[in-house]
Amino acid sequence: MLCPCCKTKLVVTGQERLETLEEHVSCVDPCLKDKYECPNPSCATYQKCCWNEDGEHYQSFSDKFPFIDNNSGPFGSFSRRINVEIYKHDEDRELFKLGRFKFKLVYSYKANEDGEILSRKRRIETWLKTRDDDWGYTLYISGIHMLIFSIKQFHWERKRFGDSSSHVQGRLDKENWFNKDDWWRVVACWYARTFVKLFPQKVKQTA
């Protein structure tokens, strides 16, 4: 991995209990990991930053560092790719507002481990104002999109787990759908029940 500031090869300088995002979400104690640092004394990160083997960035100072492309992930690391694919939003912009709705042009990317963009797609997102004041917006997903997603999810779960699984049985029981009466939930439940009746899975014969 190369330093995201000066491209000097990072070296292991010891081990520390560096908490990863996965460990943080799982609420588990971080384990000992190799600590990577830039050995270049003239680099802005020298003795101020470190990274783990996946390229996750750690610092104990509030300094801002001149990372290349504003990406703290080392060149050649998983983190540098993810920082582009998940956290890059500098090209997103608001298009217009219409009543309680706000429409945004949003980009999504595929990148390599050097942070180079391999492909770029754009889409329009719809956001709905949550209250009458300027408190904030929530992402609006239409019922038809939720219906399509639910049907795809039903077929994926049925293929992987089978009709008798709790996953599929939950799809057949409207009461398990958070007791909500959204029309797409009702239709998706009806679809799942009908499909299972018309196309029951064959039971494998055991010798």
pLDDT digits (tens, 9 = 90+) for 117-146: 999 999 999 998 877 666 788 888 889 999
Residue 177 has pLDDT above 80, yes or no: no
Q: Does some domain include residue 206? A: no
Residue 54 has pLDDT above 90, yes or no: yes
- Measure the CA–CA gap between 45 and 10, rounded to whole angstroms: 11
At residue 12, the pLDDT reads 96
Identify whether residues 129 and 172 lie together within a single domain. no
What value does the mean pLDDT of the chain take?
88
- Measure the CA–CA gap between 201 and 91, rounded to whole angstroms: 47
pLDDT > 70 fraction of the chain, expressed in percent and rounded:
92
Identify whether residues 161 and 102 lie together within a single domain. no
Q: Does some domain include residue 101? A: yes
At residue 134, the pLDDT reads 64
Identify whether residues 31 and 66 lie together within a single domain. yes
At residue 84, the pLDDT reads 97
Q: Does some domain include residue 3? A: no
Higher pLDDT, 61 or 113: 113
At residue 206, the pLDDT reads 43
Residue 178 has pLDDT above 60, yes or no: no
Q: Does some domain include residue 2? A: no
The pair of structure tokens assigned to 141 is 């997903």
Q: Does some domain include residue 6? A: no
Q: Does some domain include residue 48? A: yes
Residue 167 has pLDDT above 80, yes or no: no
3-class secondary-structure state, position 142? coil
Q: How far is CA 68 from CA 43, 51, 75, in A?
A: 12, 16, 10
Q: Does some domain include residue 99? A: yes
Identify whether residues 109 and 120 lie together within a single domain. yes
Residue 38 has pLDDT above 60, yes or no: yes
**What's the pLDDT band for 174 if we cut at 50, 70, 90?**
low
Radius of gyration of the chain (CA): 24
Identify whether residues 60 and 21 lie together within a single domain. yes
At residue 137, the pLDDT reads 87
Higher pLDDT, 63 or 84: 84
DSSP line for 52-114: -TT--EEESS------GGG--SPBTSHHHHHHHHTT--TT-EEEEEETTEEEEEEEEEEE-TT
Identify whether residues 181 and 132 lie together within a single domain. no
Domain span holding position 124: 93-140
pTM of the entire predicted model: 0.70
